[in-house]
Structure 1
Amino acid sequence: MKYRKLGRSGLKVSEVGLGSWLTYGTAVEQQTAVDCIKYAYEKGVNFFDTANAYNRGESEIVVGKALEAFPRNSYVLATKVFFPMGEGPNDRGLSRKHIVEQCEASLKRLGVEYIDLYQCHRYDTDTPLDETLRALDDLVTQGKILYAGVSEWSAVQITNATHIGRKLNLRPLISNQPIYNMLVRYIEKDLLPVCDKEGLGQVVFSPLAQGILSGKYKKGQAIPPDSRAANDEINRWINSYLKDEVLHCVGKLDGIASDLGLKLSQLAIAWVLRQPGVSSAIVGASRVSQVEENVQASAVELTTDVLKEVDAILEEINGFVPIW
């Protein structure tokens, strides 16, 4: 496993991280989740990502329980705040009240004394940005979080946040967590250049496009019964990728991977990591075998010729916009 600095900070995260969206505390049995996290840790993964909103805290509980077996200073634990955690008017968003209260709740669910990376899960248009940034900075001062980041913020929002932070002499944001994969590339236009300028690293989610880039879905073939797409509780996002034109190109990409002696998932993760602005690719896993396959992508170096071949295939579906 290789490691990269997270933005301009001194924090180093594994190139492949393990996330828990739609898996741990939701669709995967607790023991399986523990086994996946343990295996990932043993293979060098030090970056584990969750969120308070994942099944209303259940994911944090499972992740925290699994990480109990390891020294606290040996891993980087990330969680998030923004989405509703109750029915009250203050049970959502990025107000000081919600951030502070949910940080305390996350610490209890995770069973830790501090969170390494606390992320604003989305941008809050109802709360002044300086209020949000001051609340995060205060949590750092109190030792409850070590670093702050954001998720799915636009280039303009990140620019505004960094400028306000400098004006108020606050500790800088160090990361953004956007979706990024071969099929969803919007961050390349504006977001990556802005984050590079402002010192934020990317910890990208869904590098396998909800499993489409795992190679298990084939054009003209039935959906595998044990796959995410077959689970009506969590297949809302993946179904938008299941288009003939997309699967046709995925088949071609699978051929490139095979020629290189790789799994398609390994090619897809290595492709994401080709970007110097990407610090870690967060994968999901419902089986240990998936973790085993995905972590090997950290060792893959793609040549210029391979990247050109991949881009030529992706150009065929340029403009495809899935629901996510």
Structure 2
Amino acid sequence: MPAVEPIRFGVLGCASIARRRTVPAILREPRTELVAVAARDPARARTFAAEFGCDAATDYLALLARPDIDAVYIPLPTGLHHEWVGRALEAGKHVLVEKPLTTRYAHTVAVLESAAARGLTLMENLTFLRHGLHRTVRELVDGGEIGELRSISGAFSFPPLDPADIRYRPELGGGALLDIGVYPLSAAHLFLGPDLEVVGATLKHDPARGVDISGSALLCTPDGRTAQLTFGFEHAYRCDYVLWGSRGRLVVDRAYTPPPTRHPTIRLDSEHRSRTLTVPPEDQFANTLHAFADAITTRGDSSSDAPHIRSRAHLLAQIRQAAHTTH
């Protein structure tokens, strides 16, 4: 068989998540190759490029103009996603972008439609959904381990960030809902399906910073199953979801950010018994790069992901619209 040409990557931005997790995954994926990186600060791009053995482009537009780049990874602040995802698609590049895809539902729909029209792969780097842990949870629920699923509660929170953190900057799409609220929301969407509607929500707004720093939401399906979500930048660390059924409940701790060496656990509680299952460790960033490469090499346009991305974006917009805001 003829050799398969590698998918040649460019990176727009030198964010911490790129350095720590996604770029190493690009380097490990057999079908991808890192070609170049660009940053607002050329010196930072040169340092990043030297660390990972690639070129440093002069700026974002120069990187997108390169004919030796097939796909771009965009770890820029959320508020810049719409512009640069759009520019990358217009340049004919496949796009892997940090979550959420954009800050607005209309913008999300627009870039999804643009990617589909061009036959390009556009994927959110919402990596926890690619971890086999959640597939095992689904199998347990479908197998009746907790009876009929009645509700899910999910939380993701951590203590206050450095005051200079970009997640406190409204012009860059900051705020707790978009940064970490999307995780328990996505878990609820995964297990309760696309028919969720927002019943009520709260957002605590920091007037000095101009962003929401915590919040909660109650969602419901047409048949009465519910999801309760909590998220924020002002709590002790928590990262979990709980599925509650007619005969028991299932608890997953460290649900959204397990290190690649961690053996995740699933606790099953019923009236007379409690047991813990351990699943194999996985690198969810590597799994996402593998799925992204699959979509490109099979000439797919990641259309199977598009309805889920669109539905989650709609729910985020509903939470914002429904939220009772406190200060």
TM over 0.5: no
TM-score normalised over the length of structure 2: 0.36
Larger relative CO (CA 8 A, sep 6+): 1 or 2? 1
> TM-score, structure 1 length as denominator?
0.36
Structure number with the higher strand fraction is 2
Higher radius of gyration, 1 or 2:
2
